[in-house]
Amino acid sequence: MAEATGAPDRTSPARRGSRLDLPAGAPAHGARPAPARPRPRIGTLGGRPLTLAAGAAAAAPIAVSTLRAVGAGWEPTDDKAIIATRAWDVLTRHPPLVGQYSMAGLVTGRPAHDLGPMLYWLLAVPVRIGGPAAMAVTMGIVNVAAVLAAVALARAGGGRPLMLMTAVAIALMCTSLAAETFHDIWNPAASLLPFLLLILLCWSLAGGRHPLLPVTVLVASFVVQAHLAFLAPVLGMLAVGVAGLVLSRRRGLARAVAIAVVVGAVCWAPAVVDEAGGRPGNLTRVVQDATARKATLGAGVGIHAVERAIGVRPWWLTVPRTRWDRKHDVRAAPGGTRRVTAVALLAALAAVAVAGAVRRRIDLAAAALIGLALMAGLGAVAAATPAVPVLAATLGYTLWWASVAGMWVWLVLAWAGWLAVAGAARAVAARVAGRGTPARAARLAPVLASAAGLASAAGLAAAVIAGASAAAHEAPDQHAALYRPIAAIAARLDAALPPGRNVRLDGRLDVATQPFKAAVRFALARHGDRVLSRGAARRNGSWYELDHHRYGAVVALTDRPRRPHGTSTLLVRQGFSEAGAAHAVFVWISRPEPGGRA
């Protein structure tokens, strides 16, 4: 009788929510069982294959960039060659205890470094196997893995819609960064996509996924040790993640904490050893630089950075003219549209955090709070940058991570909007199904499954298109023209010098040829030589300081065919063209001064 009048059966699922809970083909009360309907094929698009496909689409720009670098004969130059040399030192009797040389030391006049050597650890084995390009391949693999893991975490915590949104957003965000960023071993670049993964890890922790705590500590340690610019945003995210984890009160948390403590102790042991043996140690110097009185760029620059990170049109959706544009962007006030939209987005983010807390949607509240922490960290980093011109210029790369942070803010708001729309649609569908028969609800289920499958296919297609477009428009590496010449010089040095000796390295180079000096130092170190030069301790470690060590040969680099010493012999003249201009590097070899001392 209930079916005849259309009233809901008191024992049916409609009393508990919606008749849409009925599986496809389930018989209604008193109705003849309907034949089983085959599930639409489009509805089978899901599970791990869909997650892997979405992650691969988002990571396409990384894979293509890495393959192109290998094809171009990638070689480390400038700071990258210093990183490669320090990575070589990891498996020696003089392993590095601190990170890359930091220009923050210019504040106090005492040398300072980034917080730890984990980037060197990552490259310690690749630097010794194959050619130098093995390091670029390693970073490409790490970044692809970071993107795949981020997409998987998005699905685990937010379902298929958030996963597809994340994949599309990452692919779009890749267009705002230079292609070489995705395989670069330079510390501001090497930590960018692990930083993206860390955002998803902290969000997952806040949702109570305590087994991820040791991995979170590992990734956070790597990111913070790679560059000081990540310290403020990482601390903010960890605060949100740990707070949510504590509130969740999950079983097994104590074990996860114990493992995380061990992981953290291993990651930070070198920094602690350096601090204990230093006078002062590097950690003390970093604190001194941070707390020293100095003129900074100020709150105005910090506000501009936040406005450009999320205001329309945000950095993460902008293709830059050069890698260094952001140091100029933050000096000028953005337009009114960008400022208004930035304020509106921050207000919306705060509203989502409050709504999530009120409705006990910890996942939504934590995502919004992480977004706010990222924006606060971004503003703090930009505002606290010293006003000394050489340090102010570092904003050209210390704000690269603003692309990742801005993307997250937009992603959270898009997800919140989707949840609101989907919730309203489910409520309407429940009311419609409640007015019909259970058989009608059963017939609706395959239709909804097909719609979900089509939506998944559309989302995956969008990720594929975005990833392919980003990969297709990638530019060559900045110093790609130097790769072959560097390899040629390294080969000539290997043939001319016996390995295992002390070699003094001198260089008189201009801006165009300066990247060769660090590259030659790495080539000699890789050859098995101890490369000595004046002032090397600051950037390369005391092992390479000339001091009064004996040496068996002198290698000198010049940018003109002028003999540096009376006994110098020209080993090779290597020409190259970069930015439309022709240059040449001259490599000379000579015997040491009498006694072989400096």
The pLDDT mean for the chain works out to: 89
* Mean pLDDT on 421-433: 79
Would you say 468 and 63 are in contact if contact means Cβ atoms under 8 Å apart? no
Q: Is the dihedral of CA 19, 22, 24, 26 positive or negative?
A: negative
Q: Determine whether 498 is exposed, middle or buried from the number of CB atoms within 10 Å of its CB (0-12, 13-18, 19+).
A: exposed
> Residue 496: pLDDT band by 50, 70, 90 thresholds?
very high
| CB atoms near residue 107 (< 10 Å) | 20
- Would you state the pLDDT for residue 593? 62
6 within some domain: no
The residue that leads in pLDDT, 131 or 412, is 412
Segment among 44-53, 217-226, 259-268, 440-449 with least mean pLDDT: 440-449
Q: Could you say which DSSP state residue 117 is in? A: -
* Mean pLDDT on 292-312: 95
pLDDT tens profile 151-171: 999 999 999 999 999 999 999
Domain shared by 461 and 484, yes or no: no
How far CA 412 is from CA of 158, 189, 366, 406, 574, in Å, comes to: 11, 24, 10, 10, 52
> Residue 545: pLDDT band by 50, 70, 90 thresholds?
very high
For the chain, the domain total comes to 2
Segment among 113-117, 321-325, 448-452, 489-493 with least mean pLDDT: 448-452
The residue that leads in pLDDT, 397 or 27, is 397
298 within some domain: yes
- Would you state the pLDDT for residue 427? 81
190 within some domain: yes
Amino acid at 481: A
The residue that leads in pLDDT, 63 or 251, is 63
| Torsion angle, alpha carbons of 17, 22, 27, 28, to 10 | 10
* Mean pLDDT on 264-284: 94
> Residue 591: pLDDT band by 50, 70, 90 thresholds?
confident
Domain shared by 434 and 488, yes or no: no
340 within some domain: yes
Segment among 440-449, 501-510, 552-561 with least mean pLDDT: 440-449
- Would you state the pLDDT for residue 22? 34
2 within some domain: no
For residues 309 and 320, give the distance between their C-alpha atoms in angstroms, rounded to a whole number: 13
Domain shared by 452 and 519, yes or no: no
Task: Please check the confidence at residue 362 and state whether its pLDDT lies above 80.
Answer: yes
Task: Please check the confidence at residue 17 and state whether its pLDDT lies above 70.
Answer: no
Expressed as residue numbers, the domain containing 498 is: 480-590
Domain shared by 422 and 530, yes or no: no
pLDDT tens profile 25-80: 444 444 444 444 444 343 445 688 999 999 999 999 999 999 999 999 999 999 99
278 within some domain: yes
pLDDT tens profile 548-576: 889 999 999 999 998 888 889 999 999 99
* Mean pLDDT on 111-116: 93
CA atoms within 13 A on the CB side of 160: 19
Domain boundary among 472, 495, 526: 472
* Mean pLDDT on 417-421: 94
Domain shared by 386 and 324, yes or no: yes
Would you say 108 and 175 are in contact if contact means Cβ atoms under 8 Å apart? no
- Would you state the pLDDT for residue 45? 52
17 within some domain: no
Domain boundary among 412, 447, 472: 472
Instruction: For the chain, give the percent of residues with pLDDT over 90.
Output: 74
The residue that leads in pLDDT, 566 or 115, is 115
Task: Please check the confidence at residue 397 and state whether its pLDDT lies above 50.
Answer: yes
Domain shared by 114 and 163, yes or no: yes
The number of angstroms, rounded, from the C-alpha of 300 to the middle of its chain's C-alpha atoms is 26
Task: Please check the confidence at residue 475 and state whether its pLDDT lies above 80.
Answer: yes
- Would you state the pLDDT for residue 444? 63
Domain boundary among 427, 452, 472: 472
The residue that leads in pLDDT, 372 or 539, is 372
Domain shared by 425 and 519, yes or no: no
Instruction: Show Cβ contacts of residue 553 under 8 Å, excluding neighbours closer than 6 positions.
Output: 497, 501, 503, 504, 589, 590, 591, 592
Domain shared by 419 and 500, yes or no: no
557: nearest Cα among 593, 587, 516, 512: 587
Task: Please check the confidence at residue 400 and state whether its pLDDT lies above 90.
Answer: yes
The number of angstroms, rounded, from the C-alpha of 251 to the middle of its chain's C-alpha atoms is 31
CA atoms within 13 A on the CB side of 415: 33
Domain shared by 222 and 249, yes or no: yes
The residue that leads in pLDDT, 258 or 44, is 258
Q: Rounded to two decimals, what is the model's pTM? A: 0.89
Residue by residue, DSSP assigns 266-281 as: HHHHHHHHHHHHSTT-
* Mean pLDDT on 14-25: 36
Task: Please check the confidence at residue 438 and state whether its pLDDT lies above 70.
Answer: no
Task: Please check the confidence at residue 1 and state whether its pLDDT lies above 50.
Answer: no
- Would you state the pLDDT for residue 452? 76
Task: Please check the confidence at residue 411 and state whether its pLDDT lies above 60.
Answer: yes
Domain shared by 381 and 432, yes or no: yes
| Torsion angle, alpha carbons of 519, 525, 527, 530, to 10 | 130
560 within some domain: yes
Domain shared by 141 and 166, yes or no: yes
330: nearest Cα among 295, 302, 310, 299: 302
- Would you state the pLDDT for residue 576? 93
Domain shared by 287 and 226, yes or no: yes
> Does an H or E element contain 101, and which?
strand 101-102
> Residue 441: pLDDT band by 50, 70, 90 thresholds?
low
- Would you state the pLDDT for residue 272? 97
